């Protein structure tokens, strides 16, 4: 399994054609206390860079973009009852959705952990 990052602060764990998507620890720290998360429905088609989910904090509502194109196979239902999971464990229990990749070559432009850390350091 490999983890990639986007410049819009999503992470994606890829295992074959299946992937798990969430927002990074840096993103949750910038958003502050998360109060609401809207994850995509099963079967939804998402396109790379397009809107996939919504996350609301006490400060603002933000779109979460799909790191790659694909078909959603599961949304994290736990976030409906406990959106604070995104704050407490953003890169684990606070995942947003699972999807089946449409085109694995779209992963090529994404960052690895070291590159993302360097990117965040410039912000």
Binding residues vs another protein (CB under 8 A):
33, 35-36, 56, 58-60, 83-84
| In the complex, minimum distance from the CB of residue 72 to another protein, in angstroms, rounded to a whole number | 20
Cβ closer to another protein: 63 or 118? 63
**Cα 121 to the chain's mean position, in Å?**
20
| In the complex, minimum distance from the CB of residue 76 to another protein, in angstroms, rounded to a whole number | 16
| In the complex, minimum distance from the CB of residue 6 to another protein, in angstroms, rounded to a whole number | 16
Cβ closer to another protein: 80 or 104? 80
Nearest to 102 by CA among 76, 66, 69: 69
Cβ closer to another protein: 35 or 111? 35
Q: How far is CA 72 from CA 25, 26, 30, 121, in A?
A: 23, 24, 26, 32
Task: Determine the Cα–Cα distance for residues 117 and 91; give it in Å rounded to an integer.
Answer: 14
């Amino acid at each position: 399994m490999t983890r990639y990052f986007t410049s819009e602060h999503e992470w994606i764990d890829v295992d074959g054609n299946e992937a798990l998507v969430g927002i990074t620890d840096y993103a949750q720290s910038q958003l502050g206390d998360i109060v609401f998360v809207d994850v995509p429905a099963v079967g939804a088609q998402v396109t790379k860079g397009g809107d996939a989910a919504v996350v609301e904090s006490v400060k603002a509502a933000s779109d979460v973009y799909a790191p790659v194109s694909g078909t959603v196979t599961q949304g994290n239902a736990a976030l409906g009852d406990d959106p604070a999971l995104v704050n407490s464990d953003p890169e684990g229990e606070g995942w947003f959705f699972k999807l089946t990749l449409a085109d694995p070559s779209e992963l090529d432009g994404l960052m690895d952990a070291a590159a993302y850390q360097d990117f965040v350091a410039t912000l």
